[in-house]
């Protein structure tokens, strides 16, 4: 599915953000990327869909190297990767429905996008997703009238409208309160399992990462210093990633493991878009 | 030091605000220089008192000949006025249309550096010269009449509106652009789906403000021969038809007021 090979990023200011990062994503699961501020988490996520151009290395999505394709090919490959942001990044002056449909921009013609005449199956899929993320009836509300949690739900639905093969999630809960954060993470995990789409999630809350992810990647100063399951997170590992600190209260007890991240993984189903066609 | 009273002793340093100019000599020195300059310039001011005094009866004469305003040649007045309004409308429309591509090219977060610099240079260049100077150029090139006036106002409107568009785009949060790019949308789709909704209200507001400004300016550029009511006004002054001049001035004031009123009403509605 996704294979990141020896990824490097040096910004024009000389800051080395990523150094020889390699990992693979081959099954529908939630992979959390943890690490201190400035460790390169955001850069890593953005290098994968080339919102930030990597300096060297490969980002292989199946057999396509995202890092080296032409701009035209890049747009095509970006359609296959849905992105969710910390600040939601909805187009504030557009309605919820228009924001959802923007996930289909890569597929429709300019004039259809201009007149907001999206294919009926896209609209049907949007209504279904709206219901799924708990925002039924909000289609004509302007995005700037929503609360933070609601906006993030729209953000998630927009990413899923792309019927993506991979979700890139950048600090989805950093602007939300603890309860909403958990709801959003739970929704994300459920959707990953329902749709069989793997998700790479940047997150700085270690406890949240442990609760909701199948695999954790620890990033420090642009390099991977830990790869493993949430059970393998120990005080030593956290010290390695973040530096010396009393971690005893941060680590989630293994025996408290609940079924949030359960093992109910299904095969990748057809997703909402195809489902709506059939229906 | 444990005392609860606030005292200033050698141990507890007092606090002074930070000055913009720390050095007191420089600070007061600048004040003294400013005072000397004012005195000196007052001393060198050459007021020609006799000329000033001679002007007063002439002013009285002119103003008395202005009354009552003469609306007798209203057909000339209406013709000039309509020409001015047409000039303003045409210039605003073309200015709006030309400003869109120029404004987009002038937004540093959308286009490559060379395009940005070229567009900004064009905007700055056309804003450097006052309308009157541009009007004189166009009158020299295309001759007297409204064509020169319209072209002048188009140049002025385009540079003004495009600067506003460019700045509005640059002020957008980068996140929205990022999000729409991440869906695989092409640049034209980014324009219509992300940039248009963010900048359209202000673009319309600025354009309407510009229409209002163009009505005012269209009366001015006429004075150098670029058509419209301004040309009629200049002609009336040079023929000493002061009563007609006053009629024209009253009409201009009415028109500008009306324009101002309508434009502020529309801008309120857009907000």
Q: Which tens digits make up the pLDDT trace of B18-72?
A: 888 888 889 899 999 999 999 888 877 777 778 888 888 888 888 888 888 877 7
Q: What is the SS3 assignment for A9? A: strand
Residue A272: pLDDT band (50, 70, 90) is low
Mean pLDDT, to the nearest integer, of A222-248? 86
Smallest Cα distance from B189 to chain A, Å: 6
CA-to-CA distance for B36 and B33, rounded, in angstroms?
A: 5
Mean pLDDT, to the nearest integer, of B111-127? 92
Residue A269: pLDDT band (50, 70, 90) is very low
Q: Which residues of A touch B181 (CB under 8 A)?
A: 51, 78
From A264-273, B146-155, B166-175, the region with the lowest mean pLDDT: A264-273
- pLDDT at residue B1 above 60? no
pLDDT at B10: 61
Of A79-83, A230-234, B20-24, B55-59, which one has max mean pLDDT?
A: A79-83
Taking the Cβ of residue A117 and every Cβ of chain B, the question of whether any pair is shorter than 8 Å is answered with no
Mean pLDDT, to the nearest integer, of B229-258? 86
Is the Cβ pair B184, A102 closer than 8 Å? no
From A217-226, A243-252, B149-158, the region with the lowest mean pLDDT: A243-252
ipTM: 0.86
Taking the Cβ of residue B176 and every Cβ of chain A, the question of whether any pair is shorter than 8 Å is answered with yes
Is the Cβ pair A76, B189 closer than 8 Å? no
| Domain with A158 in it | 2-278
Mean pLDDT, to the nearest integer, of A183-194? 91
pLDDT at B8: 57
Sorted by sequence, the CB contacts under 8 Å of residue B266 that are 6+ apart come out as B205, B208
CA-to-CA distance for B125 and B120, rounded, in angstroms?
A: 8
Task: Name the residue in chain A with its Cα closest to that of B196.
Answer: A93
pLDDT at A100: 94
Domain boundary assignment for chain B: 73-270
Give the percent of chain A with pLDDT over 90: 66
| Tally of CA atoms within 13 A in the half-sphere of A46 that contains its CB | 18
Smallest Cα distance from B212 to chain A, Å: 27
- pLDDT at residue A253 above 60? no
Cα three-residue angle A188-A191-A192, rounded to 5 degrees:
85
- pLDDT at residue A69 above 80? yes
- pLDDT at residue B2 above 80? no
Taking the Cβ of residue A111 and every Cβ of chain B, the question of whether any pair is shorter than 8 Å is answered with no
Q: Which residues of A touch B176 (CB under 8 A)?
A: 89-92
Task: Name the residue in chain A with its Cα closest to that of B173.
Answer: A89
From A67-71, B23-27, B266-270, the region with the lowest mean pLDDT: B266-270
- pLDDT at residue A216 above 60? yes
For the segment B181-195, what is each residue's pLDDT rounded down to a tens digit?
999 999 999 999 999
Mean pLDDT, to the nearest integer, of B247-259? 87
Residue B7: pLDDT band (50, 70, 90) is low
Q: Rounded to a whole number, what is the distance in angstroms from the first to the last CA of chain A?
A: 29
**Partner residue opposite A51 with nearest CB, options B176, B181, B197:** B181
Q: How far is residue B241 from each of residues A34, A52, B74, B139, B238, measured CA to CA in Å? A: 83, 69, 14, 25, 8
- pLDDT at residue B227 above 90? no
For A84, phi and psi rounded to 5 degrees? -125, 140
User: In chain A, what is the greatest distance between 2 CA atoms, to the nearest angstrom?
Assistant: 58
Taking the Cβ of residue B211 and every Cβ of chain A, the question of whether any pair is shorter than 8 Å is answered with no
- Between residues B259 and A251, the one the model is more confident about: B259
Domain count across chain A? 1
Residue pairs spanning A and B at CB distance below 8 A: 81
- Between residues B103 and B255, the one the model is more confident about: B103
Smallest Cα distance from B44 to chain A, Å: 55
pLDDT at A185: 92
pLDDT at B9: 60
From A105-114, A186-195, A249-258, B5-14, the region with the lowest mean pLDDT: A249-258
pTM of the model: 0.78
**Partner residue opposite A75 with nearest CB, options B178, B184, B192:** B184
Is the Cβ pair B198, A76 closer than 8 Å? no
For the segment A84-130, what is each residue's pLDDT rounded down to a tens digit?
999 999 999 999 999 999 999 999 999 999 999 999 999 999 999 99
Is the Cβ pair A83, B175 closer than 8 Å? no
Residue A252: pLDDT band (50, 70, 90) is low
pLDDT at B271: 66
**Partner residue opposite A91 with nearest CB, options B182, B184, B194:** B194
pLDDT at A279: 37
CATH of residue A247: 3.40.50.300
- pLDDT at residue A49 above 80? yes
- Where do the H-state alpha helices sit in chain B? 24-44, 49-66, 74-105, 113-128, 131-142, 146-170, 174-182, 187-190, 196-221, 229-238, 242-270
Query: What's the whole-number average pLDDT of chain A?
Result: 87
Residue B4: pLDDT band (50, 70, 90) is low
CATH class of B73-270: mainly alpha
pLDDT at A263: 41
Is the Cβ pair B185, A51 closer than 8 Å? no
Return the number of other C-beta atoms located less than 10 Å from residue B120's C-beta. 18
- pLDDT at residue A40 above 50? yes
Cis peptide before B59 (omega within 30 of 0): no
Looking at the DSSP bridge assignments, the partners of residue B200 are none
Q: Which residues of A touch B193 (CB under 8 A)?
A: 91, 94, 98, 102, 105, 113
For the segment B157-180, what is each residue's pLDDT rounded down to a tens digit?
999 999 999 999 999 988 999 999
Taking the Cβ of residue B186 and every Cβ of chain A, the question of whether any pair is shorter than 8 Å is answered with yes
Is the Cβ pair A89, B184 closer than 8 Å? no
Mean pLDDT, to the nearest integer, of B251-260? 86
pLDDT at B132: 86
Is the Cβ pair A78, B197 closer than 8 Å? no
**Partner residue opposite A85 with nearest CB, options B179, B183, B197:** B179
């Amino acid at each position: 599915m996704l294979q990141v090979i020896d990824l490097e990023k040096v910004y024009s200011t000389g800051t080395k953000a990523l150094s020889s990062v390699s990992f693979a994503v081959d099954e529908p699961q939630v992979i959390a990327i943890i690490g201190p501020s400035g460790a390169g988490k955001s850069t890593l996520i953005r290098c994968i869909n080339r919102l930030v151009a990597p300096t060297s290395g490969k980002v292989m999505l199946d057999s396509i190297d995202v890092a080296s394709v032409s701009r035209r090919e890049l747009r095509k490959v970006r359609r296959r990767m849905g992105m969710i942001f910390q600040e939601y990044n909805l187009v504030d002056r557009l309605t919820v429905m228009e924001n959802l449909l923007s996930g289909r921009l890569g597929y429709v013609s300019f004039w259809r996008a201009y007149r907001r005449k999206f294919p009926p199956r896209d609209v049907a899929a949007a209504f279904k997703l709206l219901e799924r993320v708990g925002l039924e009836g909000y289609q004509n509300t302007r995005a700037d009238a929503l609360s933070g949690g609601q906006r993030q739900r729209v953000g998630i639905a927009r990413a899923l409208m792309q019927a993506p093969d991979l979700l890139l999630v950048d600090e989805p809960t950093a602007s939300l309160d603890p309860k909403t954060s958990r709801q959003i993470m739970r929704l994300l995990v459920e959707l990953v399992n329902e749709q069989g789409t793997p998700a790479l999630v940047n997150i700085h809350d270690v406890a949240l990462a442990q609760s909701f992810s199948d695999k954790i990647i620890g990033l420090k100063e642009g390099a991977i210093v830990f790869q493993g399951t949430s059970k393998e997170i120990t005080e030593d590992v956290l010290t390695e990633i973040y530096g010396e600190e009393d971690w005893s209260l941060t680590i989630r007890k293994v025996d408290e493991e609940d079924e949030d991240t359960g093992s109910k993984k299904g095969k990748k189903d057809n997703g909402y878009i195809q489902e709506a066609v059939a229906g | 030091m444990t005392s609860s009273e606030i005292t200033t002793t050698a141990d507890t340093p007092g606090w002074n605000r930070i000055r913009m100019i720390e050095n007191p000599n420089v600070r007061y020195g600048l004040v003294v220089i400013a005072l000397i300059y004012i005195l000196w310039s007052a001393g060198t001011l050459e007021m020609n008192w006799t000329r000033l005094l001679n002007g007063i009866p002439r002013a009285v004469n002119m103003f008395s000949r202005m009354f009552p305003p003469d609306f007798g040649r209203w057909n000339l007045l209406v013709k000039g006025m309509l020409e001015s309004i047409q000039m303003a409308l045409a210039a605003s429309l073309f200015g709006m249309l030309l400003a869109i591509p120029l404004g987009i090219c002038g937004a540093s977060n959308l286009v490559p550096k060379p395009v940005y610099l070229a567009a900004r240079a064009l905007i700055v260049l056309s804003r450097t010269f006052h309308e009157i100077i541009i009007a004189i150029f166009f009158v020299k090139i295309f001759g007297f009449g409204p064509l020169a006036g319209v072209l002048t106002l188009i140049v002025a409107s385009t540079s003004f509106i495009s600067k506003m568009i460019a700045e509005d785009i640059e002020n957008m949060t980068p996140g929205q652009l990022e999000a729409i790019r991440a869906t695989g949308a092409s640049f034209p789709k980014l324009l219509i789906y992300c940039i248009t909704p963010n900048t359209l209200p202000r673009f319309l507001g600025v354009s309407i403000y510009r229409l209002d400004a163009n009505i005012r300016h269209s009366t001015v550029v006429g004075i150098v021969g670029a058509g419209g009511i301004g040309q009629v006004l200049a002609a009336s002054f040079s023929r000493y038809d002061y009563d007609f001049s006053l009629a024209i001035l009253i009409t201009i004031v009415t028109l500008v007021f009306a324009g101002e009123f309508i434009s502020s009403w529309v801008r309120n509605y857009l907000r």
